[in-house]
Amino acid sequence: MRRVTAAVAVLVLAGATLGTAASTAGAAPAEGPRAAAACPTGWGSGAKSGAATGVDHLENIRTGQNECYDRIVFDVPGGDRIGYHVQYVDAFHADPSGEYIPVAGGAILDIRVDAWSYDLDAGAPTYPGEVGKALPGVNISGYSTFRDTRFGGTFEGQTQVAVGTRARLPFRVTQLTDRVVVDVAHSWTS
């Protein structure tokens, strides 16, 4: 009888130990490819500007997604340090006409990049955007933050674009020699 009681006690202890190990393993932080991303959120939503050291021609606008943010890239091959000014606005107006252009979303980012979308010497566009229309070749369906894009035109060496976002969210701008990159976070917190 003692052997049976001892065997039952050993089984109970083994089961308790396995149960504790299983619950502790389940509570451990995720690691590896399934781990949640630590998303930066300290970018803020105030206006951001960067000075130019040369003006060239915009050739492409493209977008992409990341698990923390949506991205829009302005390609200016051959450019030097591309200037920019990015800020949230209440309504989007093309410069210099002042034409109101509706943009879908909870907030609107007005992005101005120091690059022509038209080559005056060649008499031809370098980027095929049409004022008031969605950006050609850009498909943002299924994006977490981006809701709409609109081309505002080019005036005095500056191209203007609007990006409708889900809400007024933090963003950052990265200035490179041949492009300007704007990342808009999915949320204010990670």
Distance of CA 188 to the CA centre of its chain: 13
- Domain assignment present for residue 52? The answer is yes
Q: Based on the fold, state whether residues 152 and 98 are members of the same structural domain.
A: yes
Q: Which residue has the tokens 């977008």?
A: 63
On whether both 67 and 153 belong to a single domain, the answer is yes
CATH number of 89's domain: 2.60.40.3500
Is residue 190, in this structure, part of any structural domain at all? no
* pLDDT tens-place values along the chain, 190 residues long: 445 444 444 444 444 443 433 333 333 333 444 445 688 778 999 999 998 877 789 999 999 999 999 999 999 998 778 899 999 999 999 988 999 999 999 999 999 999 999 998 898 999 999 999 999 999 999 999 999 999 999 998 899 999 999 999 999 999 988 999 999 999 998 5
89 and 128 assigned to the same domain: yes
Is 39 within the bounds of a domain?
no
My answer on whether 13 and 72 are in the same domain is no
The answer to the question of residue 174 being in a domain is yes
User: How many domains in the chain?
Assistant: 2
40 occurs within a structural domain: no
Q: Does residue 162 fall inside a structural domain?
A: yes
Is residue 122 classed exposed, middle or buried when 0-12, 13-18 and 19+ CB atoms within 10 A define those classes?
exposed
149 vs 147: CA distance, rounded Å: 7
* Mean pLDDT over the full length of the chain: 84
Positive/negative CA dihedral, 17, 18, 24, 25: positive
pTM for this model (two decimals)? 0.79
**Same domain for 57 and 116?**
yes
Q: How many CB atoms lie within 10 A of CB 60?
A: 17
| pLDDT per position as a tens digit, 124-158 | 999 999 999 999 999 999 999 999 999 999 998 89
112 plus 167 within the same structural domain: yes
Region of 170 (left: φ > 0; alpha: ψ -120 to 50; beta: rest) is beta
Looking at the fold, whether 54 and 126 belong to one and the same domain comes out as yes
- Residue 22 belongs to domain spanning: 2-34
